[in-house]
């Protein structure tokens, strides 16, 4: 159990921070970039959860938030908190929700409902976190399963974003198609109509 009695410590005022074991490193160290980006992804998922109206998805995301805390601890003190079982859990849920969706016919725009849009944002942050972790894996002792977990998590967030849009994907329309439809550019008001604004 974690018990905090003080929030600020002033120990980082000289530009260093401590990992587990109290070893101090510069705050710009790759490991802190990885830990911080995982934290950012977790916070973004928390925002998405504010708009999720399906209990199964909410519970899944809450489980993932807990996993991401374990993952951050794994980065701070190399051990094996993240295992193949965590990755299998993600893959099982990817298949579960993806099987309920129609096959993609184009790239999906990161848009739609608030929950879906925030999950798309979370997906991009998770991808960045994965890149940060690979930087760390290549330069210091780091559990490589963390990067694999983040890779699968980004895929799951993509599938959940589609799922929460109710199967109504907002598809990318290439410029060549817009021109064929008589649209002269992607300036405001020139693109295809949005059903929300139809009279």
Q: Both 51 and 132 in a single domain?
A: yes
pLDDT for 136:
79
pLDDT for 174:
77
Degrees (nearest 5) of the Cα angle 54, 39, 125? 70
pLDDT for 14:
47
Quick check: is 16 in a domain? no
CATH number, domain of 52, equals: 1.20.1200.10
The pLDDT tens digits for 2-59 are 565 665 555 455 465 556 666 655 455 667 788 889 999 999 999 999 999 999 999 9
Q: Both 99 and 193 in a single domain?
A: no
The domain of 178 spans 173-199
pLDDT for 143:
81
Q: Which own/partner contact pairs does 49-52 have at CB distance under 8 Å and 24+ positions apart?
A: 51/113, 51/114, 51/115, 51/118, 52/115, 52/164
Name the stretches of the chain with pLDDT < 50: 11, 14, 26, 187-193, 199
pLDDT for 96:
97
Number of structural domains found in the chain? 2
Q: Both 98 and 180 in a single domain?
A: no
Q: Is the Cβ–Cβ distance between 168 and 101 less than 8 Å?
A: no
Q: Both 108 and 189 in a single domain?
A: no
pLDDT for 73:
83
Coil, strand, or helix at residue 17?
strand
């Amino acid at each position: 159990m974690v018990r905090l009695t003080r929030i600020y410590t002033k120990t980082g005022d000289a530009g260093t921070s401590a990992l587990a074991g109290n070893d101090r490193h510069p705050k710009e160290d790759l490991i802190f970039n990885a830990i911080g980006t995982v934290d950012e992804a977790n916070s973004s998922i928390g925002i998405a959860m504010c708009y999720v109206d399906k209990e199964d998805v909410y519970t899944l995301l809450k489980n993932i938030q807990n996993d991401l805390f374990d993952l951050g601890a794994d980065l701070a003190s190399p051990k094996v908190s993240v295992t193949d079982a965590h990755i299998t859990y993600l893959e099982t849920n990817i298949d579960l929700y993806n099987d309920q969706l129609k096959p993609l016919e184009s790239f999906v725009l990161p848009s739609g409902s608030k929950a879906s849009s925030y999950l798309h944002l979370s997906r991009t942050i998770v991808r960045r976190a994965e890149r940060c972790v690979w930087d760390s894996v290549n330069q210091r002792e780091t559990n490589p399963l963390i990067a694999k977990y983040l890779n699968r998590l980004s895929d799951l967030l993509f599938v959940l974003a589609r799922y929460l849009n109710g199967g109504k994907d907002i598809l990318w329309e290439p410029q060549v198609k817009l021109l064929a439809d008589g649209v002269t550019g992607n300036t405001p008001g020139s693109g295809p109509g949005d059903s929300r604004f139809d009279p």
